[in-house]
Amino acid sequence: MRVTLAVCACLIVAVVLPLAGCISKGMQEDKKSDEGKSKIRIEREKLLVELKEKQNRMGYDDSMKMTFRYEADILKNFLDGEDFYYEENYTEAVIRFEEAMEMIKTVPSVTKKVRVLYDEAKSYIRKANRKTKPR
């Protein structure tokens, strides 16, 4: 009986206590990662507020966003070689697309990712311009 209790005590010390330590370390790491995520979330919210203020100063509202999305879809379809009956809207879509990209570019704290997206948008517009030029 004493041997069984001693074996159980050894098992508890050998197995359960290290597991408890690992669990508590994991919880601490989760808290640290949550803090990092919340900092990123706060930064993202700051950027969004800053962009929204900039858009409001420039007179950019939600209806323009929807228009831009529609025109960006037209441009995408045009680049994909579909829906050529939208060709008359192509020029307007390019203009809106460039305006929106310029607006993003003017925000003071533009990240590298936004710059990459801006450059990609410019390359898409160049591709579309090549498609529309007569040969």
Q: At residue 113, what is the residue type?
A: K
Helices (H), strands (E): how many in the chain? 5, 0
Tell me which residue range forms the domain holding 91.
61-135
Residues 69-79: pLDDT tens digits?
565 565 566 55
Boundary of a domain, candidates 23, 41, 57: 57
Same domain for 132 and 98 = yes
| Secondary structure letter of residue 12 according to DSSP | I
In the prediction, which pLDDT does 84 show? 44
Same domain for 38 and 104 = no
In the prediction, which pLDDT does 123 show? 73
| Residue 2 within a domain | no
Q: Are 72 and 124 in contact (CB under 8 A)?
A: no
| Residue 7 within a domain | no
Same domain for 27 and 49 = yes
| Residue 77 within a domain | yes
| Residue 4 within a domain | no
Same domain for 120 and 104 = yes
Same domain for 83 and 127 = yes
| Residue 6 within a domain | no
Residues 13-64: pLDDT tens digits?
555 555 555 555 655 666 666 666 676 677 767 776 776 666 566 555 555 5
Same domain for 127 and 80 = yes
| Residue 65 within a domain | yes
- The closest of 51, 63, 102 to 71, measured between CA atoms, is 63
Same domain for 44 and 70 = no
pLDDT surpasses 50 at 117? yes
Q: Are 120 and 97 in contact (CB under 8 A)?
A: no
The gap from C-alpha 15 to its chain's centroid, in whole angstroms, comes to 43
Q: What is the mean pLDDT of residues 102-106?
A: 64
User: How many domains does the chain fold into?
Assistant: 2
